[in-house]
Structure 1
């Protein structure tokens, strides 16, 4: 039996990768073409412009707190829900502001929070934020 001697030509044998790369690129093109892009549904957010100057920004906002028992506090004193408009207008007369922040406890009834928001809007403040505070 005759044995073959390994020559240096056998060591340099390689597999041609071109057909495999062709298949990979064809698959990539197939997946790109068949992918369907769906616009996700959600809330549109109105963000302020970056070039808007901060010189005319109000100094502070009206702060309203509502605890779990429904007690409304404005400026460190308790206020009835029917007096929120008057207190907010007083605050507006003393301060240059266009925003209010309502900090409500998580156990507060949402109807009371909505009523306070309506009262603040009646007073003339359009930008109202609602914060939820854990007990």
Structure 2
């Protein structure tokens, strides 16, 4: 046995990946557990197809149509109304017919805020059946 001589081996050097994988999985678990899942709120819309057949008489609903022009002015039955009077008009029509449907006919260039305000005021007046259409 000679001093200072080392035995040379032909085995290649390997890196043990197990500790690194453990750390990655621990970080993954940490981020999944601490992540906050936010439920975004929005307006639910239902797409319905137009048919030429009128609904049966027992299912016929009374409708009140609000029109939003390109300049965001609101029209009801051919007269211009203020945004603050939407709720009063819906409450009056809802008192006459409890199965009232509010239809909002908006110009494609009208602001979304006008639709949101009208639908919110209709819901506050007790009407949950609200439809959105676009002007031709």
- TM-score tier by shorter-chain length is 0.5 to 0.7
- SS of 2:67's partner is strand
Structure 1 runs of 4+ off > 3 angstroms?
none
Shift of 1:68: 0.4
Let me know the Cα RMSD of the aligned residues: 2.7
Q: Are the structure 2 counterparts of residues 96 and 57 from structure 1 closer, same or farther at C-alpha, using a change threshold of 3 Å?
A: farther
**What is the number of equivalent residue pairs in this alignment?**
86
**Contact 2:61/2:101 (8 A) holds in 1:** no
Whole-angstrom distance in 1 between the partners of 2:88 and 2:107:
23
Shift of 1:126: 0.3
The TM-score with structure 1 as length reference comes to 0.55
Deviations 1:1-35 (A, max 9, x none): xxxxxxxxxxxxxxxxxxxxxxxxxxxxxxxxxxx
The answer as to 2:79 corresponding to 1:80 is no
The TM-score with structure 2 as length reference comes to 0.54
Shift of 1:56: 3.9
Q: Which runs of 5+ in 2 are unaligned?
A: 1-43, 49-55
